[in-house]
Chain A
Amino acid sequence: MLDTVVTVLTTGLTNGALYALATIGLSLVWGSMGMFNMAHGAMLALGGYLTFTVCTQLGLPLPVAVIAAVAGGALFGVLLYLVVVQRLLARSTEHFETSVMIATAGISIALEEALLVAFGGQPLKQPFTVSGNLHLGQSVVPLLDLADVVIALIVMGLTYWFLSGTKMGRAIRATAQNRDAAVLMGVPVQRIFLQALAISGALAGICGVLMSSVTQLTPWFGDDPMLKAFIMCVVAGLGNLPGAIAASFCLAIIEAAVEFLAGARWGFPALLFIVIAILIWRPAGLFGRSQIRRL
């Protein structure tokens, strides 16, 4: 019995931390500019492959490779803004939400296919790994999972510090909460959007490395976590960061429990039913107030 609980909690907390990291990246961009970034999953894969390239193929030290993933993700976010988002924002606010979703879906498949062409479809081994196990009585907790959780928590802490303690972070939150007022305070919102996408990309980079360390590195590995992260954002109320983190952990533990009790294939359907039930009950999400986006 205790084994079961430990196993479910280990899986749940590990996945929860990773989902939370993906969710923050999505929520940041949604909250500040109303953009659903369908390419986020592909950006997770980009981070994973960048680490693989720099570490395994070029033979550079692992920390350099992880930094490369973060920088590459941020750069991709910047490019995404300059090439796609900026033009769509300039055109109309009314259709922005749907058109940016379709455009980033296109980017997503293009990036994944590019990774497929470059690296092939066979699963690769993520060089970021920790071997060994932690024994808790009868049950075994892999140290890799523990390391992932710790790193994810550190990154979340840094993000929290950035958003609440720095001027740039405060301006991002201000823009998310009231764009017009931010403009009147002299905040250049275009630059804020660029920064939000860059940070979201950087988060996707590190998140991709951690995620592919517990699963496998394929061009599509990010699609499934992205969808779940979206679901967690929605449950929390889109754009609400603390809520999104809480929802990520709760849903990941529920998912792990369902997968353990009923089989792996029922994890995702269970999540979806919970989400639909919550949304019928509270259309703006658990912590969301309608029309107010929190960050």
Chain B
Amino acid sequence: MHDIASLSLSDVWAGYDGPDILKGISLEVQPGRIVTVVGPNGHGKSTLLKAISGLIRVRRGDITLSGRSVLPLSPHRIAATGVVHVPQGDLLFPNMSVYENLLMGAYGERDAKQTAQRLDEVYALLPRLAERHRQIASSLSGGERRMAGIGRGLMAGGRILMLDEPSLGLAPLVIEQIYDVIGKLRAQGRTILLVEENPARVADLCDDMHLLDDGHIVWSGPPHELMGRDELLAAYLGG
């Protein structure tokens, strides 16, 4: 039902104005898989997503989508190729209604019928948004905002959905709801690149896991194998 594509990073170096934050990242997101990047705060997880969506410049290496490099593209063109970045802290349009926020998600879609159909899908997946669709985004609760952010990302009908710590700062009950939604997306066969601080929380949810420590990927493999490994302890405790 969705266009499939694989995202691949090879030896990516990137950073903000100062030193490199990402120091040679290589990873692969195969169609239909949920790939998670875990690691402690401040080790480059958000930077990784920003590099993919073109918000920061890649200094070395390459990022390809279905074999074609996205590096020469400006951020809004990368978004148009179907890489949908749901940023940390939602970044909703605060003075627009939920409905308008969702419509903005489908900005690149020319076909009104497609947009309407996706809106129905999003409302079916996230019924809370349907209830609140006329409400101004800045008046939503934290969990609702997060769902609106994910819904807006889904509206793009993108080929790869990138979620930046969707559970950050939410109450445990709400976190469960959010991961419930991600589980449903998995069942639909979506391709997702998920960034998360807590590996245990997402171990059941994903297919591949990568451990990011100080700008390097120090371990990759099936999620449950990561638990209890030295690399994990070193990354989170070793500083």
Residues of A within 8 A of B (CB): 167, 170-171, 173-174, 177-178, 180-189, 292, 294-295
Contacts and interface: CB of A to CB of B under 8 A. Distances in A.
B91 interface: yes
A295 B95 contact: yes
Contacts of B55: 180, 183-184
Nearest to A295: B95
B40 interface: no
Interface stretch (B16-24, B27-35, B103-111, B204-212): B103-111
A180 B76 contact: no
Given A170-B104, A184-B85, A186-B80, A294 B93 contact: no
Contact of A185 (B77, B94, B95, B105): B105
A295 B95 CA distance: 8
B107 A186 contact: yes
Which of A173, A185, A188 has the most B CB atoms < 10 Å from its CB?
A185
Contacts of B85: 184
B94 A184 contact: no
B93 A177 contact: yes
Question: Which of A170, A177, A186 neighbours the largest number of chain B CB atoms within 10 Å of its CB?
Answer: A186
Given A180-B91, A181-B92, A174 B104 contact: yes
21 contacts: A170-B96, A171-B107, A173-B95, A174-B93, A178-B93, A180-B87, A180-B91, A183-B75, A183-B76, A184-B85, A184-B91, A185-B76, A185-B152, A186-B77, A186-B79, A186-B80, A186-B107, A186-B156, A188-B74, A189-B76, A295-B95
A170 B91 contact: no
B36 interface: no
User: Which of B77, B80, B87, B107 counts the most A-chain CB atoms under 10 A from its CB?
Assistant: B107
Q: Which of B77, B85, B87, B93 has the largest count of A CB atoms less than 10 A from its CB?
A: B93
Contact of B91 (A178, A186, A294): A178
B100 interface: yes
Nearest to A179: B91
B150 to A, nearest CB: 13
B146 to A, nearest CB: 14
B107 A167 contact: yes
B53 interface: yes
B87 A171 contact: no
Interface in B62-97: 74-77, 79-80, 84-85, 87, 91-96
A184 B100 contact: no
A182 B95 CA distance: 13
A178 B137 CA distance: 12
Nearest to B75: A183
Given A180-B55, A292-B94, 7 more contacts: A174-B96, A184-B75, A185-B79, A186-B79, A186-B108, A186-B156, A187-B76
Contacts of B53: 184
Contact of B95 (A177, A184, A188): A177
Contact of B107 (A180, A185, A292): A185
Contacts of A178: 91-94
A188 B79 CA distance: 10
A294 B95 contact: yes
B93 A173 contact: yes
Nearest to B103: A170
A173 B96 CA distance: 8
A187 B107 contact: yes
B84 to A, nearest CB: 8
Contacts of B74: 188
B82 to A, nearest CB: 10
Interface centre among A180, A184, A189, A295 (most CB of B within 10 A): A184
B79 to A, nearest CB: 4
A93 to B, nearest CB: 13
Nearest to A181: B91
Nearest to B80: A186
A181 B95 CA distance: 13
Contacts of A184: 53, 55, 75, 79, 84-85, 87, 91
Nearest to A191: B76
Q: Which of B80, B96, B156 has the most CB of A within 10 A?
A: B96
B94 A182 contact: no
A292 B152 CA distance: 21
Given A170-B104, A186-B80, A177 B96 contact: yes
B104 A185 contact: yes
